Amino acid sequence: SGDHARRFFEAELTPELRARAHFSWDGHDWGFQQQLARAGLLFPHWPRAYAGRESSAYETAALWEEYHRAGWSTHAAITTGMVGATLIHFASEELKREVLPRIQAGQAIVSLGYTEPASGSDVAAAQTRATLAGDHWLIDGQKMFTSGAHLGQYVFLLTRSDPSSAKHKGLTMFLVPLDLPGIEIHPLHTLSDERTNVTYYSGVRIPDRYRVGPVNGGWSVLGYALEIEHGAGGGSGSFGIHQRDLLEKA
């Protein structure tokens, strides 16, 4: 993975791409994302049945290291790959057929809709409501730090579907297309020169096929995604890279 990636970046990362590279979501480039996909450098930890190579955590971390060495952002690859792996495990066959080919081809990316203004670090305190209405759901609420939503096609959204249940037991996950009516995306600029977003959901009508995992079973779906983020799929490699950066600059 590492050697292949290094050769790819040396050959394909043009001066124009290097000039606009930024280690944030805004470093994303659609054309280059699709080149990475064709080269098998987006989701190596996915199952072979879904165009992955079932790479180990070490191999995947080596890949993210090469992104960093080349100065290219891992944000879209890591986050979208983590959600995609979760869809493979939990989503219906219909939703997988609709979404995964776009993700595999580098034509769609996904942001994370977990944190809310009032929930802080307690993700399970989410109050964004999902109300079942026949064969669809109505979603109302607000999310903070929805990084990449201004670029993405989907948000992986944590909702409260049963307010009467215990905190962890009334949650349901959805993959929400960001072009649906009722969604607003507002920029939020951080001190570190990165853009994140506040996203608002007002009467967003979404078919049940976009539900990921069981109704009121969202905590286990979220837990699976976080396990990937901390292991083979993403965050550990990126976290280690940033830690090393801090040491080098100290």
Which of 206, 101, 97 is closest to 156 using CA atoms?
A: 206
DSSP states along the chain = -HHHHHHHHHHH--HHHHHH--SSGGG--HHHHHHHHHTT-S-TTS-GGGT-----HHHHHHHHHHHHHHT---HHHHHHHHHHHHHHHHS-HHHHHHHHHHHHTTS--EEEE---TTTTT-GGG---EEEEETTEEEEEEEES--TTTTT-SEEEEEEES-TTS-TTTSEEEEEEETTSTTEEEEEEE-TTS-EEEEEEEEEEEEEGGGEESSTT-HHHHHHHHHHHHTTTTSHHHHHHHHHHHHHHH-
Please, are residues 221 and 154 in contact by the beta-carbon 8 Å criterion?
Answer: no
Catalytic position from the list 65, 66, 116, 229: 229
How far does the chain reach from its first CA to its final CA, in angstroms?
A: 30
Please say if 229 is a catalytic residue.
yes
Please, are residues 153 and 201 in contact by the beta-carbon 8 Å criterion?
Answer: no
Which of 144, 142, 137 is closest to 162 using CA atoms?
A: 137
The residues that are catalytic are: 229
